[in-house]
A and B are shown apart, each in its own frame.
Chain A
């Protein structure tokens, strides 16, 4: 799990802390605490572990709050889900590389920034998760990080065998990741 963490994310975040130390000490401290919480999450959660979607979203919100310090008003976040979806479990930090891609390869390439949208809901016996971000019109294929995508695919395979759907699409200036995983059956519980 530790290998997943992008070191540039850490260096850039530390640079923000260094900058805010004199200009806005309260924000610098806030950033340190966000970073500490996020790092603790990534160290605590092993790759075999499953956590609730609610808990996963909490980690993602922490990560995005840190990126918001760097990117300011260019990054906005919408992260929601149905009550039922929030209680379902998924492999811990499954969505982290996807959200990082959305920021680094999507929002950060746009002058005007944009919104990273994360949504979870249940449809019949399937948990559906979408992550969407706007892309830069001049670099439509900028969502390049195959490393992150492969990692997510491998983990889905390890946890669900062939019983999952993992899809990425790009159209009309938006990049979208679509994940379907089966809900645990009542009888099997």
Chain B
């Protein structure tokens, strides 16, 4: 098998023995070329950005970013993924993000080989991963407590309490937090659904406001209102946005 035909693989696990095991198992498969070993999610995002691997062997529980968060950040760049974990509780979520396979630790060389066989079939057919679906598969419907933003190979972790407001820019959102702007590939409606019900209000088709940043509401011309934030930023409020805002402030 020539180098060019080989599938490139990245192994991500925060435990050194666990990475060693995958390295050993991979050595029996001549068509698999290990291009990076990563000890945490940040390294995984960097390595995936650099190597554009065909396959990621990905642990779930890791410091800072878990395996699912790594996938969320990589979006369509994640081609094939095989999860490895000691927990059986993530299997459904793994299936939802179109994982090739889900290996329960400890696993045998044979079981690992089956997973690789599945990956070969899947990657050869090169079925495109449905990006939107991938991005929208979240942590079991629970509200998020932080935003993950990828800036090339760097990852920013922003606690949602630090967010002032979010502005929609078509398929992207611009997030204003702690005096900085961050761009993320996500729709504003999608983010709105993930945020905790209290705290953020969709004051306008294009704006999602952290209600803790609201200083006052001013009537501009005619019937339209604007929100003045603590830092003097002005945002438009739509008619339905105002109703939502009132409901939240009155409750």
Chain A residues within CB distance 8 Å of chain B: 8, 11-12, 14-20, 22-23, 69-72, 74, 108-111, 136, 138
Contact = CB atoms under 8 A, between A and B. Distances in A.
Interface residues of B, number: 21
Contact of A138 (B24, B105, B157): B157
Given A71-B15, A72-B16, A138-B146, A15 B86 contact: yes
Contact of B24 (A17, A22, A111): A22
A22 B21 CA distance: 9
Contact of B18 (A15, A108, A111, A138): A15
A71 B61 CA distance: 13
26 contacts: A8-B87, A11-B86, A11-B104, A12-B86, A12-B105, A15-B18, A15-B86, A15-B106, A16-B17, A18-B106, A19-B18, A19-B24, A20-B17, A20-B20, A22-B24, A70-B15, A70-B17, A70-B18, A71-B15, A108-B14, A108-B61, A108-B63, A109-B63, A109-B64, A111-B40, A138-B146
Interface in B94-118: 104-106
Contacts of B157: 138
B242 interface: no
Contacts of B18: 15-16, 19, 70
B42 interface: yes
A136 to B, nearest CB: 7
Contact of B17 (A11, A15, A108, A136): A15
Contacts of A17: 106
Nearest to B24: A22
Nearest to A11: B86
B159 A138 contact: yes
A11 B86 CA distance: 6
Contacts of A12: 15, 86, 105
Nearest to A113: B63
Contact of B21 (A8, A18, A71, A109): A18
B63 A136 contact: yes
Contacts of B61: 108
Interface in B145-178: 146, 157, 159
